[in-house]
Amino acid sequence: MSKIKRIGVFTSGGDSPGMNAAVRAVVRAGIFNNLEVYGIKHGYSGMIRGEIKELKSSHVSGIIQRGGTILKSARSQEFRTEEGRKFAYDQLKLHGIDAVVAIGGDGTFTGARQFSEEYNIPIVGLPGTIDNDLYGTDFTIGYDTCLNTVVEAIDKIKDTASAHDRLFFIEVMGRDAGFIALNAGIACGAEAVFIPEVQSHTEQLKNYLEEGFRRKKASNIIIVAEGDDAGGAYAIANQVKEDFKEYDTRVTILGHIQRGGTPSAFDRVLASRLGVAAVEALLDDQKSVMVGLVNNQIVHVPFSKTIKQHNPVDVALIKLIDVLNV
Protein backbone atom coordinates (compact mmCIF):
# COMPACT_ATOMS: atom_id res chain seq x y z
CA MET A 1 0.00 0.00 0.00
CA SER A 2 1.28 3.46 -0.90
CA LYS A 3 2.07 5.78 1.99
CA ILE A 4 1.03 8.77 -0.06
CA LYS A 5 -1.86 10.67 1.50
CA ARG A 6 -1.46 14.18 0.16
CA ILE A 7 -0.18 15.27 -3.27
CA GLY A 8 0.66 18.60 -4.86
CA VAL A 9 0.16 19.67 -8.46
CA PHE A 10 1.67 22.59 -10.37
CA THR A 11 2.16 23.94 -13.89
CA SER A 12 5.49 25.34 -15.01
CA GLY A 13 7.25 26.87 -18.00
CA GLY A 14 5.28 28.00 -21.05
CA ASP A 15 1.53 27.54 -20.71
CA SER A 16 -0.36 25.30 -23.11
CA PRO A 17 -4.08 24.72 -23.76
CA GLY A 18 -5.26 21.71 -21.78
CA MET A 19 -3.24 22.39 -18.64
CA ASN A 20 -6.45 23.18 -16.76
CA ALA A 21 -7.97 19.91 -17.92
CA ALA A 22 -4.87 18.13 -16.58
CA VAL A 23 -5.11 19.90 -13.21
CA ARG A 24 -8.79 18.97 -13.02
CA ALA A 25 -7.99 15.32 -13.74
CA VAL A 26 -5.24 15.19 -11.10
CA VAL A 27 -7.49 16.75 -8.46
CA ARG A 28 -10.46 14.50 -9.12
CA ALA A 29 -8.39 11.34 -9.54
CA GLY A 30 -6.70 12.15 -6.24
CA ILE A 31 -10.00 12.64 -4.45
CA PHE A 32 -11.34 9.45 -6.06
CA ASN A 33 -8.40 7.60 -4.51
CA ASN A 34 -8.95 9.17 -1.07
CA LEU A 35 -6.04 11.59 -1.37
CA GLU A 36 -5.88 15.25 -0.45
CA VAL A 37 -4.73 17.41 -3.37
CA TYR A 38 -2.99 20.76 -3.04
CA GLY A 39 -2.43 23.24 -5.85
CA ILE A 40 0.93 25.01 -6.04
CA LYS A 41 0.69 28.40 -7.77
CA HIS A 42 3.36 29.92 -10.02
CA GLY A 43 5.35 26.71 -10.47
CA TYR A 44 8.63 26.30 -8.63
CA SER A 45 8.60 29.97 -7.59
CA GLY A 46 5.31 29.47 -5.80
CA MET A 47 6.59 26.26 -4.22
CA ILE A 48 9.50 28.20 -2.73
CA ARG A 49 7.20 30.96 -1.46
CA GLY A 50 4.61 28.56 -0.07
CA GLU A 51 1.78 29.49 -2.46
CA ILE A 52 0.06 26.21 -1.70
CA LYS A 53 -3.66 25.66 -1.15
CA GLU A 54 -5.93 22.63 -0.94
CA LEU A 55 -8.07 21.99 -4.01
CA LYS A 56 -11.51 20.44 -3.69
CA SER A 57 -13.54 19.04 -6.55
CA SER A 58 -15.55 22.26 -6.75
CA HIS A 59 -12.37 24.30 -7.27
CA VAL A 60 -11.77 22.62 -10.64
CA SER A 61 -15.38 22.69 -11.80
CA GLY A 62 -15.84 24.50 -15.10
CA ILE A 63 -12.16 24.76 -16.04
CA ILE A 64 -11.79 21.90 -18.52
CA GLN A 65 -12.67 24.25 -21.41
CA ARG A 66 -10.41 27.11 -20.32
CA GLY A 67 -7.01 27.87 -21.81
CA GLY A 68 -4.06 29.01 -19.74
CA THR A 69 -3.72 27.61 -16.24
CA ILE A 70 -5.60 28.45 -13.04
CA LEU A 71 -2.42 27.61 -11.12
CA LYS A 72 -0.44 30.19 -13.13
CA SER A 73 3.00 29.44 -14.48
CA ALA A 74 6.48 30.86 -14.04
CA ARG A 75 10.15 30.09 -14.53
CA SER A 76 12.31 30.15 -11.41
CA GLN A 77 16.01 30.98 -11.29
CA GLU A 78 15.99 30.51 -7.52
CA PHE A 79 14.94 26.87 -7.87
CA ARG A 80 18.14 26.25 -9.81
CA THR A 81 20.08 26.82 -6.57
CA GLU A 82 20.49 24.36 -3.68
CA GLU A 83 19.11 26.96 -1.29
CA GLY A 84 16.02 27.50 -3.42
CA ARG A 85 15.27 23.79 -3.65
CA LYS A 86 15.70 23.49 0.14
CA PHE A 87 13.11 26.26 0.63
CA ALA A 88 10.76 24.42 -1.75
CA TYR A 89 11.17 21.11 0.08
CA ASP A 90 10.55 22.78 3.45
CA GLN A 91 7.30 24.25 2.13
CA LEU A 92 6.13 20.87 0.84
CA LYS A 93 6.86 19.27 4.22
CA LEU A 94 5.17 22.17 6.03
CA HIS A 95 2.02 21.45 4.05
CA GLY A 96 2.32 17.70 4.51
CA ILE A 97 2.73 16.97 0.79
CA ASP A 98 4.08 13.48 0.10
CA ALA A 99 4.31 13.53 -3.71
CA VAL A 100 3.94 15.92 -6.64
CA VAL A 101 2.54 16.02 -10.18
CA ALA A 102 4.51 18.42 -12.39
CA ILE A 103 2.89 19.65 -15.63
CA GLY A 104 5.32 21.20 -18.11
CA GLY A 105 8.17 20.57 -20.51
CA ASP A 106 11.78 19.45 -20.37
CA GLY A 107 12.85 22.38 -18.17
CA THR A 108 10.17 21.45 -15.65
CA PHE A 109 11.26 17.81 -15.72
CA THR A 110 14.93 18.71 -15.36
CA GLY A 111 14.15 20.54 -12.14
CA ALA A 112 11.81 17.77 -10.97
CA ARG A 113 14.42 15.08 -11.51
CA GLN A 114 17.08 16.90 -9.52
CA PHE A 115 14.63 17.80 -6.76
CA SER A 116 13.41 14.23 -6.47
CA GLU A 117 16.96 12.86 -6.29
CA GLU A 118 18.00 15.33 -3.60
CA TYR A 119 14.99 14.88 -1.32
CA ASN A 120 13.61 11.48 -2.31
CA ILE A 121 10.19 12.94 -3.03
CA PRO A 122 8.10 11.13 -5.69
CA ILE A 123 7.37 13.33 -8.71
CA VAL A 124 5.48 12.32 -11.85
CA GLY A 125 5.42 14.61 -14.90
CA LEU A 126 2.75 15.39 -17.46
CA PRO A 127 3.92 16.64 -20.90
CA GLY A 128 2.46 20.13 -21.21
CA THR A 129 3.94 22.04 -24.15
CA ILE A 130 2.69 23.20 -27.54
CA ASP A 131 5.94 22.11 -29.23
CA ASN A 132 5.23 18.35 -29.13
CA ASP A 133 8.97 17.74 -28.81
CA LEU A 134 9.16 15.64 -25.63
CA TYR A 135 10.61 12.17 -26.04
CA GLY A 136 8.38 9.31 -24.93
CA THR A 137 4.95 10.52 -25.98
CA ASP A 138 3.24 10.81 -29.34
CA PHE A 139 1.42 13.97 -28.27
CA THR A 140 1.94 16.67 -25.66
CA ILE A 141 -0.89 18.54 -23.99
CA GLY A 142 -1.61 21.70 -25.99
CA TYR A 143 -0.05 20.74 -29.30
CA ASP A 144 -3.28 19.82 -31.08
CA THR A 145 -4.99 23.06 -30.01
CA CYS A 146 -1.97 25.11 -31.04
CA LEU A 147 -1.81 23.44 -34.44
CA ASN A 148 -5.48 24.15 -35.10
CA THR A 149 -5.04 27.78 -34.01
CA VAL A 150 -2.14 28.16 -36.44
CA VAL A 151 -4.05 26.52 -39.30
CA GLU A 152 -7.05 28.80 -38.75
CA ALA A 153 -4.85 31.90 -38.74
CA ILE A 154 -2.94 30.86 -41.88
CA ASP A 155 -6.18 30.07 -43.72
CA LYS A 156 -7.29 33.65 -43.10
CA ILE A 157 -3.94 35.06 -44.19
CA LYS A 158 -4.11 32.93 -47.33
CA ASP A 159 -7.42 34.57 -48.25
CA THR A 160 -5.92 38.05 -48.24
CA ALA A 161 -2.71 36.83 -49.87
CA SER A 162 -4.62 35.51 -52.87
CA ALA A 163 -6.69 38.69 -53.09
CA HIS A 164 -3.57 40.82 -53.52
CA ASP A 165 -1.00 38.46 -55.09
CA ARG A 166 1.01 38.65 -51.90
CA LEU A 167 3.94 36.56 -50.74
CA PHE A 168 3.53 35.87 -47.03
CA PHE A 169 6.23 34.64 -44.67
CA ILE A 170 4.49 33.39 -41.53
CA GLU A 171 6.53 32.67 -38.41
CA VAL A 172 5.25 30.13 -35.88
CA MET A 173 6.64 28.92 -32.58
CA GLY A 174 9.23 26.17 -32.53
CA ARG A 175 12.61 27.25 -31.20
CA ASP A 176 14.03 23.74 -31.30
CA ALA A 177 11.36 21.69 -33.08
CA GLY A 178 9.43 22.02 -36.32
CA PHE A 179 6.27 20.03 -35.55
CA ILE A 180 3.97 23.06 -35.63
CA ALA A 181 5.45 24.54 -38.80
CA LEU A 182 5.65 21.28 -40.72
CA ASN A 183 2.17 19.97 -39.98
CA ALA A 184 0.58 23.39 -40.40
CA GLY A 185 2.33 23.64 -43.76
CA ILE A 186 0.76 20.40 -44.94
CA ALA A 187 -2.67 21.28 -43.55
CA CYS A 188 -2.68 24.75 -45.12
CA GLY A 189 -1.12 23.90 -48.47
CA ALA A 190 1.94 26.04 -47.82
CA GLU A 191 4.44 26.36 -50.63
CA ALA A 192 7.47 25.86 -48.38
CA VAL A 193 8.34 25.24 -44.74
CA PHE A 194 11.51 26.11 -42.84
CA ILE A 195 12.21 24.12 -39.65
CA PRO A 196 15.19 23.79 -37.27
CA GLU A 197 15.73 20.11 -38.13
CA VAL A 198 16.52 20.79 -41.80
CA GLN A 199 19.16 23.18 -43.11
CA SER A 200 17.57 26.09 -44.92
CA HIS A 201 18.14 26.61 -48.65
CA THR A 202 16.89 30.04 -49.67
CA GLU A 203 18.16 29.56 -53.22
CA GLN A 204 15.87 26.56 -53.59
CA LEU A 205 13.00 28.72 -52.35
CA LYS A 206 13.83 31.38 -54.94
CA ASN A 207 13.74 28.78 -57.69
CA TYR A 208 10.38 27.60 -56.52
CA LEU A 209 8.99 31.13 -56.40
CA GLU A 210 10.18 31.76 -59.95
CA GLU A 211 8.36 28.64 -61.12
CA GLY A 212 5.26 29.67 -59.17
CA PHE A 213 5.27 33.11 -60.78
CA ARG A 214 5.48 31.54 -64.23
CA ARG A 215 2.46 29.43 -63.36
CA LYS A 216 0.70 32.61 -62.20
CA LYS A 217 0.04 31.39 -58.70
CA ALA A 218 -2.31 33.75 -56.91
CA SER A 219 -0.49 33.54 -53.58
CA ASN A 220 2.47 32.00 -51.85
CA ILE A 221 2.59 31.03 -48.18
CA ILE A 222 5.96 30.26 -46.59
CA ILE A 223 5.90 28.96 -43.00
CA VAL A 224 8.97 29.47 -40.83
CA ALA A 225 9.62 27.99 -37.40
CA GLU A 226 11.17 30.61 -35.13
CA GLY A 227 14.26 28.45 -34.52
CA ASP A 228 15.09 27.92 -38.18
CA ASP A 229 18.80 28.34 -38.93
CA ALA A 230 18.14 31.04 -41.55
CA GLY A 231 17.13 33.44 -38.79
CA GLY A 232 13.35 33.60 -38.79
CA ALA A 233 10.67 34.94 -41.10
CA TYR A 234 12.00 38.50 -41.40
CA ALA A 235 15.52 37.32 -42.24
CA ILE A 236 14.32 34.94 -44.95
CA ALA A 237 11.90 37.48 -46.38
CA ASN A 238 14.68 40.05 -46.66
CA GLN A 239 16.85 37.55 -48.54
CA VAL A 240 14.26 36.92 -51.25
CA LYS A 241 12.10 40.02 -51.61
CA GLU A 242 14.61 41.98 -53.68
CA ASP A 243 14.48 39.25 -56.33
CA PHE A 244 10.68 39.15 -56.41
CA LYS A 245 9.46 42.70 -56.71
CA GLU A 246 6.39 41.40 -58.53
CA TYR A 247 5.16 40.11 -55.18
CA ASP A 248 3.91 42.30 -52.36
CA THR A 249 5.99 40.60 -49.65
CA ARG A 250 4.65 40.57 -46.10
CA VAL A 251 5.71 38.98 -42.81
CA THR A 252 3.37 37.83 -40.06
CA ILE A 253 4.54 36.65 -36.64
CA LEU A 254 1.74 34.63 -35.05
CA GLY A 255 3.32 34.85 -31.61
CA HIS A 256 1.49 34.05 -28.42
CA ILE A 257 -1.95 33.52 -29.92
CA GLN A 258 -0.59 30.01 -30.45
CA ARG A 259 -0.53 29.38 -26.70
CA GLY A 260 -4.03 30.59 -25.91
CA GLY A 261 -7.58 29.60 -26.61
CA THR A 262 -10.05 26.91 -25.71
CA PRO A 263 -8.38 23.48 -25.76
CA SER A 264 -9.51 21.09 -28.46
CA ALA A 265 -11.48 17.95 -27.62
CA PHE A 266 -8.33 15.93 -28.30
CA ASP A 267 -6.28 17.92 -25.80
CA ARG A 268 -9.03 17.71 -23.16
CA VAL A 269 -9.19 13.91 -23.49
CA LEU A 270 -5.40 13.59 -23.56
CA ALA A 271 -4.98 15.77 -20.46
CA SER A 272 -7.69 13.87 -18.64
CA ARG A 273 -6.17 10.47 -19.40
CA LEU A 274 -2.66 11.55 -18.46
CA GLY A 275 -3.80 13.33 -15.29
CA VAL A 276 -5.55 10.23 -13.96
CA ALA A 277 -2.58 8.07 -14.99
CA ALA A 278 -0.19 10.36 -13.09
CA VAL A 279 -2.07 9.87 -9.83
CA GLU A 280 -2.21 6.12 -10.40
CA ALA A 281 1.54 6.10 -11.07
CA LEU A 282 2.25 7.82 -7.76
CA LEU A 283 0.03 5.33 -5.93
CA ASP A 284 2.00 2.59 -7.68
CA ASP A 285 5.22 4.00 -6.15
CA GLN A 286 6.50 5.43 -9.44
CA LYS A 287 8.74 8.49 -9.32
CA SER A 288 10.88 10.57 -11.65
CA VAL A 289 8.83 9.49 -14.66
CA MET A 290 6.76 11.26 -17.28
CA VAL A 291 3.38 9.81 -18.14
CA GLY A 292 2.93 9.79 -21.92
CA LEU A 293 0.83 8.31 -24.68
CA VAL A 294 2.34 5.99 -27.32
CA ASN A 295 0.14 4.15 -29.82
CA ASN A 296 -2.85 5.27 -27.73
CA GLN A 297 -1.47 3.46 -24.67
CA ILE A 298 -0.31 5.03 -21.40
CA VAL A 299 3.45 4.72 -20.87
CA HIS A 300 5.90 5.71 -18.13
CA VAL A 301 9.16 7.27 -19.34
CA PRO A 302 12.03 8.08 -16.94
CA PHE A 303 12.85 11.78 -16.69
CA SER A 304 16.43 10.89 -17.62
CA LYS A 305 15.25 9.72 -21.05
CA THR A 306 12.69 12.40 -21.83
CA ILE A 307 15.17 15.14 -20.86
CA LYS A 308 18.19 13.81 -22.75
CA GLN A 309 16.45 12.52 -25.88
CA HIS A 310 14.51 14.44 -28.47
CA ASN A 311 11.27 13.58 -30.22
CA PRO A 312 12.30 13.60 -33.91
CA VAL A 313 10.19 15.26 -36.56
CA ASP A 314 9.45 13.21 -39.66
CA VAL A 315 11.50 15.17 -42.20
CA ALA A 316 10.04 12.99 -44.96
CA LEU A 317 6.98 15.22 -44.66
CA ILE A 318 9.01 18.00 -46.28
CA LYS A 319 8.98 15.87 -49.44
CA LEU A 320 5.21 15.57 -49.09
CA ILE A 321 4.91 19.35 -49.30
CA ASP A 322 6.99 19.36 -52.47
CA VAL A 323 4.83 16.64 -54.01
CA LEU A 324 1.59 18.45 -53.20
CA ASN A 325 2.81 21.72 -54.72
CA VAL A 326 3.32 20.55 -58.30
Task: Give catalytic residues, as residue numbers.
Answer: 131
Q: Are 126 and 274 in contact (CB under 8 A)?
A: yes
DSSP SS3 for 17: coil
Three-state SS sequence of the chain: CCCCCEEEEEECCCCCCCHHHHHHHHHHHHHHCCCEEEEECCHHHHHHHCCEEECCHHHHCCCCCCCCCCCCCCCCCHHHCHHHHHHHHHHHHHCCCCEEEEEECHHHHHHHHHHHHHHCCCEEEEEECCCCCECCCCCCECHHHHHHHHHHHHHHHHHHHHHHCEEEEEEECCCCCCHHHHHHHHHHCCCEEECCCCCCCHHHHHHHHHHHHHCCCCCEEEEEECCCCCCCHHHHHHHHHHHCCCCEEEEEECHHHHCCCCCCHHHHHHHHHHHHHHHHHHHCCCCCEEEEEECCEEEEEEHHHHHHCECCCCCHHHHHHHHHCC
- E strands, 64-129, where? 99-104, 123-127
